Each structure stands twice: as structure tokens, then as C-alpha cells.
Amino acid sequence: INKNNMLQTCLTYFHSQLLTNSPFWMLGTHYVQSEETNVESVLDSFVSHFHSRFWMTYRTNYEPISGTAFSSDTGWGCMLRSAQMMLAEALSCHYLGRDWRIQKDKPFPPKYYEILKLFEDKPSAPYSIHNLACTGFETQGKNIGDWFGPSTSAHLISKITNQKKDIPITIYVSNDSMVYTQEVKVQCGSNWSPVLIVIPMRLGIGGFNSLYIQKIKRLFQFPQSVGIIGGRPRSSYYFIGYQDDYFFYLDPHFTQQIVDMSSEFETGSYHCDRPAKLLIEELDPSLAAGFFCETEQQFHDFCDRTTKLGDNDDEYLFSIAEHRPVYTQSDHQVVCLDESTDSESDLS
């Protein structure tokens, strides 16, 4: 697929989707018209940013998964694909830099292909649909073909990453909407391993609580943002930005043929030219936000921004603390009861 044609298609489609008089944010970058920039140049920059993100979708005709008949994840793999996209974004930040964009007439750097091969649809690739689904069976009791939720998916990519010595980042998953700084620092080590922090949240009971709309939008203003995985009931998307009260997202619900990466291969199917948007109030309350901190300084900045996000009201999304509290036996019983009423029904 010709890069120039895809970018032009993307730009044309954005003109029909965006409210061009309003500023918008994507993964820590602010796009706004000013005296120095007109709408066209703002859209060009935004489109280039969007199009350069990795797009993971349903695939078909791959080797069946571990003794099953599943040679496609259509209908059940959308949350795993969304988690792949969040992780790919973190790896892109690490290997290529946050400012990397696809260039019309320039070849992709070698690290670009290295990232994609980590997600190839074959059992030997660490983040393949095969490995994710099998790890879900082994560690979470999820049958192959079961639907996964945001928290479960975050723990899967964390387990695989933190067991592999050749992956240059680590993943910290919050279990209680808390980020404990000492745990993160211990996990990152004295030389600071870059860390992807994933925070599963439930922002409402019967549906998404509109009190959280303004705060969840602000997460995309964090320079550490690598997006949000979530969506509608039983249907996952990878959210990467917002404008007004809409989220922009990459949609994994497209079934494409597998790509053989054993030799030179075409990468067009891993980039999207059709943005989609969703009213924030239509979100399912179960979701997970990701933040990538390349350095310890970036982690401290993330903590400062999180603290300010929770100032002056009670509608906090998640919190920062230095240490995990030590509960008594009676405290633990109460916590377990609370968790049982808010178990991960996962976009149920």
C-alpha cells in the first residue's frame, strides 16, 4: 500500500470527522490552531501522528492456537489486540522516540520492524495472539476463545514482559487504582529500566459516571500517555486522544490476513487510515490507562501530575502513595468483599 495514498486518505477522512475549530490532544501532544498555524497544518500534524501508530486487528489463517481449532481471533480477541497496541506504543516510544512519524519517502528504521515482529501471529513471537491466549489460560484460567477484559489483558502483557530478559522495558500493573512509588522503583532497579504503568479502573457501576469525563480527558495531556484500552460492552478499542467530548480510537474489529514476517513484508495493514470517534459518556466503566516513563525523572513528573489531577475533589481516577498499606485480617476481609462486588466482569 502506497504510504502517500494512505496519508491522503487519512487526511481526507479527518476533515469529515474533526471539529476543526476545537483543539485536540493525542498521547501527550496538543494540537491547536494559532496565529502561527492554520487548520490545514494542524490537521497534517495530527494525521501524521495518528497514522504512525501501530494498528493491531483481528487476523485470520494463522497457525491454530495450541491444540485448538482457532486460526482467527475474530469475535474474541479485540481486547488482546488493544493491549498489543498500547504495548507497541510504549515500545515505539522507547525504540523510535515519541516524535517519530512515518515519512512519505523514507524507509522504516530497523527498530520499527523489530517491534512489529514481537507481535507476529505465530507461537514463537512473545506478544502473538497465540502467546497471549495461552498465557491467559495458564495464569487466569481463561479458555482459548474467551473474551478478555482490560485488567486481565494488562496482567498478561506484564507477565510475559517481566519474564523476558531481552525486552528492554518493565510493566507495572496497579491492582487497586493505586501506584506505589517504592514498588515501581524496586521493579525498575537502580539503573532504571523504562516502565509501562498500566492502571485498570472502574469508573461507574451500571455505566460510565459522567463525573469522570473531564479528568479522564486530562490523562491524554500527560506527556507519558500511551492511551487507554476499553470501549463499549464486550467490544474493545484503543483510545489515543480526544476533542471536545469525543475520544479518538483505533478499532481492532477488522479481520485481516496474517502477514508472514520471515522475509521482507508489507506493513500497510499495521497502520490505520480511518480514525473513529466515540462519545466519552458512552464508554463502558471498565478500562485501563497506560503511561510510559522512559526515565526516573519522567516517572516523578507522572506522579506530580497525578497528584494535581486529584486535588480539590473526591472524584479521583487513581492515586499515588509511597508504600502499600499493611492490612489487618479484618481489613483484608472487608477488601475482599469489596473486590467481589467489583470483580472484572470486563466491559460487562
Higher pLDDT, 329 or 49: 49
Give the model's pLDDT for residue 347.
46
Higher pLDDT, 5 or 84: 84
pLDDT, tens digit (0-9, with 9 covering 90-100), for 174-202: 988 999 999 999 999 999 999 999 999 99
Name the pLDDT band for 313 (thresholds 50, 70, 90).
low
Give the model's pLDDT for residue 126.
96
Give the model's pLDDT for residue 170.
97
**Residue 293 is among the residues annotated as catalytic for this protein:** no
Estimate the crossing angle of helix 78-95 against helix 129-140, to 10 degrees: 110
- C-alpha cell at position 296: 526516573
**Is the pLDDT confidence value at 206 over 80?**
yes
Percent of the chain with pLDDT over 90: 70
**Residue 342 is among the residues annotated as catalytic for this protein:** no
**Is the pLDDT confidence value at 264 over 80?**
yes
Location of C-alpha cell 496474517: 258
pLDDT, tens digit (0-9, with 9 covering 90-100), for 99-146: 999 988 899 999 999 999 999 999 999 999 999 999 999 998 999 999
Name the pLDDT band for 320 (thresholds 50, 70, 90).
very high
Q: Which of 78, 93, 134, 293 is catalytic?
A: 78
**DSSP letters along 123-181, please?**
TTSTTSHHHHHHHHHHHH-PPTT----HHHHHHHHHHHHHH-TTSS-EEEE-SSSEEEH
**Is the pLDDT confidence value at 148 over 50?**
yes
CA 83/CA 188 separation, integer angstroms: 21
Mean pLDDT of 245-265: 95
Higher pLDDT, 206 or 169: 169
Give the model's pLDDT for residue 340.
32
Mean pLDDT of 195-216: 93
Q: Which residues contact 189 (CB under 8 A, 6 or more apart)?
A: none
Q: Which of 244, 245, 253, 301 is catalytic?
A: 253
Find the range with the poorest average confidence among 39-53, 72-86, 104-118, 169-183: 39-53
Estimate the crossing angle of helix 129-140 against helix 150-163, to 10 degrees: 100
Name the pLDDT band for 212 (thresholds 50, 70, 90).
very high
Name the pLDDT band for 254 (thresholds 50, 70, 90).
very high
Neighbouring-strand partners of residue 235: 232
**Residue 253 is among the residues annotated as catalytic for this protein:** yes
Return the C-alpha torsion angle 311, 314, 320, 323, nearest 10.
130
Name the pLDDT band for 23 (thresholds 50, 70, 90).
confident
For residue 117, count CB atoms less than 10 angstroms from its CB and return exposed for 0-12, middle for 13-18, buried for 19 or more. middle
H or E element in which residue 83 lies: helix 78-95
Give the model's pLDDT for residue 104.
82
**Is the pLDDT confidence value at 338 over 90?**
no
Q: What share of residues in the chain are helix, strand, coil (percent, to 5)?
A: 40, 20, 45
Find the range with the poorest average confidence among 174-183, 241-250, 264-273, 310-319: 310-319
Q: Which of 251, 273, 284, 346 is catalytic?
A: 251
